[in-house]
Amino acid sequence: MMAGAPASVGSSSWSSRNWCFVKVYTDEGVVGIGEGSGWPRVVQTAIEDMRPILVGEDPMNIERIWQKMLVSTMGNGMTGTPGSGAMNAIDMTLWDIKGKALNTPVWNLLGGKMRDRIRAYGHAKNAERALELKEQGLTAIKTGGVHRVADQVEDIRKAVGDEIDIMVDAHGPPWYNSKDAIIVGKSLEQFNLLFYEDPVPPDNMDALRRVQDNVDIPIAAGERHSHIWGVRQLIEDEIVDVIQPDTGRIGGISQMMKIAAMAEAHYISVAPHSGSLGPIAEYAAIHVLAAIPNALILERVHDDVPVRYEVTLPHLPTVDGYIEVPNLPGLGVDIDEVVAAANPSKGNTTRAGKEGDGSYEPGTYDEHVYVQTRYSRQKHLRAPNSDS
Ligand SMILES: [Mg+2]
């Protein structure tokens, strides 16, 4: 089933929300719940196509079913987010089913608890919003973009003080090359960031390697890849310090656990991407982070659209910057199908924001940041306190 929401007022960068939830029913009456991202409306079709692979299988054999699903996508290229998003959603339901069948939380199936609560971070475009998040109890805040981001971070650091962790997500627009990313990265070194995320686009490992070698801030990436093979080089070549598998499209809890183990061997920590995802994927991330030794922090968009709090129950609050790990069987979450039906999906694609949101040249706000022509360098590379 799909659930969506239009852009929230005053939050132009969240152009829309579009979540794909799935339920798998067993003949013993246990119902598993999952979520898949990666073009959710396409993922929904892929899930339907995978139905014959699942019928008749024992849901306890999660790895066997996962491998069957992977092989089933061979003729269509095997990799790519629609396929991995569908596998992700189904894999998540299987862990939920197993937990419910055994009357134990998913984190217990993953090796037990390393921790009782998960640190979460929020998103702020400016100092005012950062202060608001700090007052809500958050201890880590991410800001983003490539437009004078050093100035933005300086404002936020001044406002929230040194105790709060700050991260920067450049979102890797394709016209932003590794030299730009290095210059900006160097200008950010003074702010003691927790990490510098997607400084360049995700698919050129050599470009990211250059940034890693030249910027003295932990580098984070990985949210747009699928399966263990999508992030293998990032981890094995130690191109990142923080790996960010997307909890909706990486391939499921099974793949998240393998990636966490691969990362552990390279002293890389895990900070799942879940910003644009819905609340079911967030639950899955919480169970994984509860069980792995190298959990860093969870991305959380907590006040973008009201439906986020209405479509699943119970809602897990962030208290003093942390989310309590749920102890109910399975994932411990349920879907309100009436709310989902009342908030139909609006589409798969992200639309541009509005002028003045920091991502656009004045007068070009209808061109998305990823496709518009390159800024003049002075505008986005300017170091803080320097006159351009
Ligand atoms: Mg990101």
Confidence band of 146 (pLDDT split at 50, 70, 90): confident
Q: Return the pLDDT at 176.
A: 79
User: Domain spans of the chain?
Assistant: 2-104, 108-331
DSSP string, 224-290: T--HHHHHHHHHHTT--SEE--BTTTSS-HHHHHHHHHHHHTTT-EE--B-SSS-HHHHHHHHHHHH
For residue 182, report the distance from its CA to the centre of ligand 1, in Å: 18
Pick the CATH number of 2-104 from 3.30.2310.20, 2.60.120.10, 3.90.1170.50, 3.30.390.10: 3.30.390.10
Q: Are strands 298-299 and 312-313 parallel, antiparallel or unpaired?
A: unpaired
Report the percent of the chain where pLDDT is more than 90. Answer: 68
pLDDT of 377 strictly over 80: no
Reference 369, options 346, 349, 353; nearest CA is 353
For residue 13, report the distance from its CA to the centre of ligand 1, in Å: 12
Q: Return the pLDDT at 195.
A: 98
Most confident region among 49-53, 92-96, 343-347 by mean pLDDT: 92-96
- Taking a C-beta distance cutoff of 8 angstroms, is the pair 219, 241 a contact? yes
Residues 244-256 have pLDDT tens digits of 999 999 999 999 9
pLDDT of 6 strictly over 60: no
Q: Return the pLDDT at 361.
A: 55
Residues 325-367 have pLDDT tens digits of 999 999 999 999 999 999 888 777 665 555 444 445 555 545 5
For residue 58, report the distance from its CA to the centre of ligand 1, in Å: 36
For residue 275, report the distance from its CA to the centre of ligand 1, in Å: 8
Domain over 108-331 is classified CATH 1.10.490.10: no
For the range 76-83, what are the long-range contacts, defined as Cβ-Cβ under 8 Å and sequence gap of 24 or more? 79/226, 79/227, 79/229, 79/230, 80/38, 80/226, 81/37, 81/38, 81/39, 81/224, 81/226, 81/249, 82/38, 82/39, 82/42, 82/43, 82/46, 83/46, 83/226
More confident residue, 67 or 77: 67
DSSP string, 291-314: H-TTB--EE---SS-THHHHSEES
For residue 97, report the distance from its CA to the centre of ligand 1, in Å: 30
pLDDT of 372 strictly over 90: no
Confidence band of 70 (pLDDT split at 50, 70, 90): very high
Q: Please count the other Cβ atoms lying within 10 Å of the Cβ belonging to residue 74.
A: 9
Q: What is the set of active-site residues?
A: 171, 273
For residue 30, report the distance from its CA to the centre of ligand 1, in Å: 35
